[in-house]
Structure 1
Amino acid sequence: MPSWDNVPKGTMCAVTLTSPGSSPPAACFTYKTDYPRPSLPSPKFCLVRIHAVGLNRAELRARNAEPVSPVEFGIFKDEFHNQCPLIIGEEFVGEVSEAGSETGFKVGDRVAGWAYGGGKAYDGSYAQYTICHHRRLWKLGDAAKEVGWDVLGAIPMGLWTAYGALFLAAETEPSDVVFIHGATSSVGLWGVLVAKEKGCYVIASTRQESKVQKLKAAGADWVVLESELQDPQVIMKIAAKDVNTVLELVGLEALGPISMPVTTRGGTVVKCGILGKVWQMPVGAGVVTAMRKLTTFTTLDEDYDEAGRVLAGAVEKVRSGIYKKEAFLDSVFELKDVGAAHQRMEDCAACGKVVLLVL
């Protein structure tokens, strides 16, 4: 675990990963009320009282203690290790409880933070408290005082990943046609919301007919069922003009048969989702051609200041009703019920973000 000293201060409630890979998901976790509460390892960290946790697909992999890459440690790559932390969880919203002198935060700030992958350098967010480096922590702005913690918990990583993929990695323009493959995930629904707000024509896909209406309500101009995508020409016929950007959320296995063929010459496919849980692809698969650009966007790539502006702006738009919580928040569970929340993700029953409330 971390190379720095971190002497606990008191105790807290937390969910620990005690039996990785067990079935059902609830069997993997143990809810504890006396887990050691962390202390600040350096003046660059804050201690945050967590109020809500947004769940991510990568945590299904973490729950099974599957291998991770050093790149997933981000700014903590020098701390890389194969051991999964006892507490998993990639993102959170809450209030600063203690602020290091070099962080620029103060006690009481409402914040969002995140760390990556299944083998982070320190314990994650399935707990009442966590430490967070100031470069992975953002103020949510005054509007956050008027938005519930459950709703705030459904915003951070899904929003930033979608926004960054579409407008930083792909450089999508307001008049472009965007195809979001796997649009009922949290990132997918945020992709629909931000793309429509920018003036894009959005085509979204889902495997389940029961989720079509939610995508339309979020603003998708056209929703196509996965069963219709056996022929990529379906997307080309739907689009009023060429598809400029594909946000590929299903995974690597979809690049060759779907994402690349539907993208116009000179267009961009951004791969940033693993809904299909295929984490590797054979080298030389031949899906990238000179006519189309393939890029990968992860939240490791964030511009700190831009991420802060996007997050605070989204919270204000939620407060003012521009973004409706019904569009991106799927369901809310208490921390102790994390097994049921994971089961909902595992079953692909969710349409948007699954959130844990930390009471």
Structure 2
Amino acid sequence: MTMRAIVLTGPGPVENLEPRELPIPEPEPGWVRLRVHAFGLNRSELHLRLGYADNARFPIVPGIEATGVVDAAPGSDLRPGQQVVAMMGGMGRAFDGGYAEYTVVPRAQVIPFRSELPWDVLGAVPETLQTAYGSLTVGLDLRAGQTLLIRGGTSALGYATAALARDLGATVLATTRQRDRLDDLAAHGVAHPLLDDGDVAAQVRRIVPDGVDAALELVGTPALPDTLAATRVHGTVCMAGMLSNEWIVKDFYPIGYLPAGVRLTGYSGNAANLPPEILQRTLDQLAEGTFSLGPVTTYPLDRIRAAHHAIETNAVSGKVVITV
């Protein structure tokens, strides 16, 4: 038996993403085979294709997340047909990931859920929600009544974090480099949409004179000094993304780089960092229409190259989902 899959033959252009017929993988005990219905595209997969990843092998089926149903789970508590998401834990780097009709992952990376939402909606949720939730809780320890600045607000992670923060009771400020996306931020609950002019700190301090309580850096190291300057003494900046494809601070001298008293943290998590009850609650809220993770653009599997190109050129706002 074979399946459709997308194989990345090596770093390079979108043409290196090759549609192929591969054998359906067999799960060993402790592993779960998913019948993939949808998966979200992530910036890390773009980094993999562009050659920035140093922990990958080629050729490989990319994809750090997948949404679907259990197809086989030997020796597991999961049953065939059960709805699940899977993410991280080496997917798409150490072993074949979600760009396929079937994928095999460790049980620890699988979270069951129940929902009647369509698969293209469900496919947008897992990794984005995990990172947003982990950034706010582990990275920032955000509390009700605080102010949060999001750099890169019209990314999928930006929209999701804004929604979670607003649900928590925080006031959200968020940036975009494109003026025509300011209204999108406002429509998704951002109290203060800001046009990124290179001096966001000045704009923030006109709104919050002492600086924000917390800031999520999704652009990367080029924007980090400006984000730090927008944050109050004893406030926290968490770096969790790199939309700029730059994540190294050259010649880092902490005393000179960090404003006095401003804390800098980072966040990168996996399935264990997303409690099943948070996933289920978010899906229920999405179904009720009381919660939104932002815009979703959907492509079929055979248009994976177009989807990658859209992410690489920042042609889309929010999450890109592939339906299988």
- Please name the residue that 1:175 is paired with: 145
* Residue number in structure 1 paired with 2:284: 316
CA displacement at 1:307 relative to structure 2: 2.5
Equivalent residue, structure 2, for 1:161:
131
Shift of 1:311: 1.1
Aligned to 1:44: 30
Equivalent-residue separation in structure 1 for 2:238 and 2:154 (angstroms) = 17
The residue aligned with 2:46 is 60
- Whole-Å Cα distance in 2 between the matches of residues 119 and 285 of structure 1? 35
1:332 aligns with 298
Question: Aligned residue for 2:275?
Answer: 307
Q: Distance in 2 between matches of 1:100 and 1:134?
A: 10
Deviations 1:303-348 (A, max 9, x none): 45x5322111111110111124xx5232100011000001110111
What is the 5 A alignment of 1:132-171? 132-141=105-114, 144=115, 146-171=116-141
Distance, in Å, in 1 between the alignment partners of 2:88 and 2:310 is: 22
Aligned partners of 2:187 and 2:209: how far apart in 1? 20
1:239 counterpart residue number: 208
Aligned length: 322
Deviations 1:69-99 (A, max 9, x none): 5xxxxxxxxxxxx523421111110000001
TM-aligned CA distance change 1:297 to 1:89, over 3 Å = same
Identify which of 11, 14, 32 aligns with 2:2.
11
**Cα RMSD over matched residues?**
1.8
Change (3 A) 1:214 1:163: same
Q: Residue 157 of structure 1 contacts residue 299 of structure 1 at CA under 8 Å; is this kept in 2?
A: no
Counterpart contact for 1:183–1:205, Cα < 8 Å: yes
C-alpha contact 2:236 2:265 (8 A) present in aligned 1: yes
Partner AA of 1:234 in structure 2: Q
TM score, norm. by length of structure 1: 0.85
Counterpart of 1:7 in structure 2 is none
- Gaps in structure 1 of 5+ consecutive residues: 1-9, 70-81
Kindly provide the amino acid, as one letter, of the partner of residue 267 in structure 2: F
**Structure 2 counterpart of 1:322, which letter?**
T
Judged with a 3 Å threshold, the aligned counterparts in structure 2 of structure 1 residues 285 and 52 are, in CA distance, closer, same or farther, namely farther
Who is 1:72 aligned against? none
Letter in 2 for 1:336: D
2:65 touches 2:91 (CA, 8 Å); kept in 1?
Answer: no
Give the match for residue 64 of structure 2.
90
Between the aligned partners of 2:104 and 2:291, the Cα distance in structure 1 is 30
Q: Identify the match of residue 128 of structure 1 among 72, 97, 101.
A: 101
Task: Decide whether the 8 Å contact of 1:154 with 1:328 is kept in 2.
Answer: no
Output the CA distance in 2 between the equivalents of 1:210 and 1:65.
32
1:140 Cα offset (Å)? 1.9
AA partner of residue 54 (structure 1) = G
TM-score (normalised: structure 2): 0.94
Contact 2:60 2:93 in 1 (8 A): no
Q: Cα distance 1:85–1:18, how it changes in 2: closer, same or farther (>3 A)?
A: closer
1: CA distance, partners of 2:53 / 2:250: 17
SS at match of 2:71: strand
| Change in 2 beyond 3 A, CA 1:303/1:116 | closer
Distance 1:162 1:339 in 2: 26
**Matches of 1:345 and 1:322 in 2, distance apart?**
28
Q: Specify whether residues 342 and 117 from structure 1 end up closer, same or farther in structure 2 by C-alpha distance, changes over 3 A only.
A: farther
Partner of 1:59: helix, strand, or coil?
helix
Deviation at 1:118, TM superposition (A): 8.6
Instruction: Rate the CA distance shift 1:350–1:55 in 2: closer, same or farther, 3 A.
Output: same
8 Å CA contact retained: 1:154, 1:329: no
Counterpart check, 1:345 vs 2:318: no
> Does residue 267 of the first structure (1) align with residue 235 of the second (2)?
yes
Post-superposition Cα deviations, 1:212-249, rounded to whole Å, max 9, x if no partner, equal 1211111000100011x425221111237641110000
Structure 1 residue 116: Cα displacement = 5.7
Say if 2:61 and 2:92, in contact at 8 Å, map to a contact too: no
Amino acid at match of 1:179: L
Partners of 2:167 and 2:53 lie apart in 1 by 38
Report if the CA contact (8 A) 2:108-2:272 is conserved. Answer: no
Q: For structure 2, list consecutive stretches of 5 or more residues without a partner in the other structure.
A: none
- What's the CA shift string for 1:13-66, capped at 9, x where partnerless? 0111135303xx2x122112x21111112x211100000010001111111333
Q: Which contiguous aligned blocks of 4+ residues in structure 1 show a shift greater than 3 angstroms?
A: 116-119
